[in-house]
Amino acid sequence: MEKQETRGYKLEDIIGSPLMISSDKNTRIYGLNVKGRAVDISAYSESETRKGYFHKVEVEYLPSSMYLISGSCTCESFRYYGMPCKHMLKVRNVYIKNKDKLNKE
Ligand SMILES: [Zn+2]
């Protein structure tokens, strides 16, 4: 399990079907939970250095302010710095771009 966290997840390790796949195919949203003004997004975003491996990304986001309230990612950058990484921002941006489509579900 530790090994998988480090290297990332292969698509066949990911359970369920995505609600949305980004146009460049490297970010996949699996879960969406609106709670009040905030939205929780569960997603996987592909590693840029290890193609075929995805990081698990959780983002809590406040649409009215563009602000990331909290979140996590399994990538090295987030685990080392504890700051929002490019995957978390990517997931937020994919959500923003596809918000109307996603919220129609
Ligand atoms: Zn990351």
Please give the distance, rounded to the nearest whole angstrom, from the Cα atom of residue 102 to the centre of ligand 1. Answer: 22
CA of 77 to the centre of ligand 1 (A): 6
Assess contact for 36 and 8: CB atoms under 8 A: no
Distance 91 CA to ligand 1 centre (A): 10
What spacing in Å lies between the alpha carbon of 86 and ligand 1's midpoint? 6
- Take residue 77 and report the two structure tokens written for it: 């950058």
**Domain ranges, ordered by start, for the chain:** 2-103
Q: What is the pLDDT of residues 14-58, one digit of tens each?
A: 999 999 999 999 999 999 999 899 999 999 999 999 999 999 999
Over the stretch 70-86, which tens digit does the pLDDT of each residue have?
999 999 999 999 999 99
In what side-by-side order are the strands of the sheet with 38-46? 20-21, 27-35, 38-46, 54-62, 67-73
Q: For residue 55, how far is its CA from the centre of ligand 1 (angstroms)?
A: 7
CA 14 from chain center: how many Å? 13
Question: 31-43: per-residue pLDDT in tens?
Answer: 999 989 999 999 9
pTM exceeds 0.85 for this model: yes
